[in-house]
Structure 1
Amino acid sequence: MGTKEFQCGGHESALLDCSSASERNTCSPGTAVSLTCSEPDEVRLVGGESRCAGTLEVKHQGEWRPVDGHYSLWTLKAAGVLCRELDCGSAVSVGKREEPSHRFMWGISPACAQSGSALRECAGSGASLYTLNLTCSDSVRLLGGTGLCSGRLEVRSDPSNPSWSSVCEADFDQQDAQVVCRQLGCGAPSVLQGALYGEGEAPMGTKEFQCGGHESALLDCSSASERNTCSPGTAVSLTCKEPDEVRLVGGESRCAGTLELKHQEEWRPVGYYHNTLWTLKTAGVACRDLDCGSAVSVGERKESSKRPGWWISPDCVESGSALRECARAIPSSNFVTLTCSGSSSSQ
């Protein structure tokens, strides 16, 4: 614990460039300095309709470059890390856009980013034709729920103000909930209740929103005067229906066949990959979404050539996430087939 006392002005490039006083021989126990610096990541979305939509770019090694979207490894669940980094709520859609020619980009591993590492620690350089495009929910978010479509509602009423506020139950109705669910890319609201997902730490001062239900975003609605306080237990929690559209095709009933998912406005079969085993537990989520009971059997169907498909991580689904949160686009020639217990009664 013997060290010099440094006397820096704050502008120096290195600590040893600072002047120093006489060496201190001892320090009291528990007074050794610990330090946390903010991560130097700089990230932005460009070319979209707002600062929370567009092509993802990261500044790394002093250079702004787009993020490579070629392998479509970013699921909605993983992209939530990027939206949080941007302070833009939660992920609504993630996809790729083709460029006219190859250009240098940063390749970023979703698994690395989800592990809590800074984006710059996960970035590698390479050339690609495809950029990663992302749309975040911007001014609304749901926290503490079971997925992207449930949780405690928080709103950022002023785009220039980075702080988020909870919403008082008395200031929020079913029409307001319809707008929020739509903005989040979710289905219709199913549960609207105070403190279902906890109180949270955000301040309870927020505007009373007056939506007609048809608006695209909550901040498009008119609003009344701001309420400064709410009673304990009245912070709005909201559950929207999952917008997953799933179907089974080519089987003997609507509850048997090849599994297809409508995601990002496109129907595709779900790929079967031998390194990611589909169990009856995973398949049971799809059967429940189809209102077809439980899973009886799951298998694969092979085709002669590859075509666009959705890859869905079984681990992601079994963690409680919706199918669409765990999907990414990958071509395949092997596809998941499924039989649910409701097959015989769904002819």
Structure 2
Amino acid sequence: MTVNNDPVYSLAETEEETAVVAVEFAGGACTKGAIRYDPAYNNTVVQICFNNRWGYICANSDGGTRQRVANVICQQMGYSRHSQSDTGITRRRLNPAPTPSFIKWFYCSVKPISQQNILDCSRSVNSYQPNLKCPNYYIAASNCTNTSVCQNGQIQLLDTNAVLLCVNGEWHALCSTTWSSTQAQVVCRQLGKNAQGAMPDNISVPTNISVLQAGFECNGNEKFLYDCLDYRLYSCSSGTVAGVICENLPGPPSNLT
């Protein structure tokens, strides 16, 4: 199904919360899916481009869904993530609210590695109605923190053989709970080393590095660790993180290391 030449994506039955987000028309040609701050609102209110128009995003009352949408928006704009402090802003009440609404909702994954672009999130598009306002006048907003220090999906290997993965523009060590030779092969290949003979290792937690509570289902032939299916872990092995030992034989080069 399409509305104004844009597809309407619907979620299958799910027990997870659904973000209700709508986009408002504003003037000016732009690229579909582009994100920017509206300077008229002290760089907190977010605008998105659809059908060559800048618009405002309406947010629902659920904080968790707004947080996930805000994180994707922030990393798309080159920041690491949305502020999670007490000063974090995910919506602003503007009365009168901008009109008309254009997108009914966005839904961004609850997986450890979020979408890389807001258009990667599911969305539903409303038909054009000039006077349709955002519910309760709440407009999506965000105050992003820190510029990214690395490219999402990039990996590095510390001198201790601990693996670091870039997620949301920040470096994270990985849980060793489900780490195996299959994941080690993918890491060695991404590092440009020979994947044959790759060995997993358990390493002491690096200083000042957060541990990403995620597991990865890999076949062993993936080019990047990001190509593996990630899922949330609710606990990690105490005191250790994932590491690898790669053979020194050369392997195919990678452009994401």
Interval containing the TM-score (normalised by the shorter chain): 0.3 to 0.5
State the structure with bigger RCO (CA 8 A, min sep 6), 1 or 2.
2
The alignment's TM-score, normalised by the length of structure 1, stands at 0.32
Structure having the higher strand fraction is 1
The alignment's TM-score, normalised by the length of structure 2, stands at 0.40
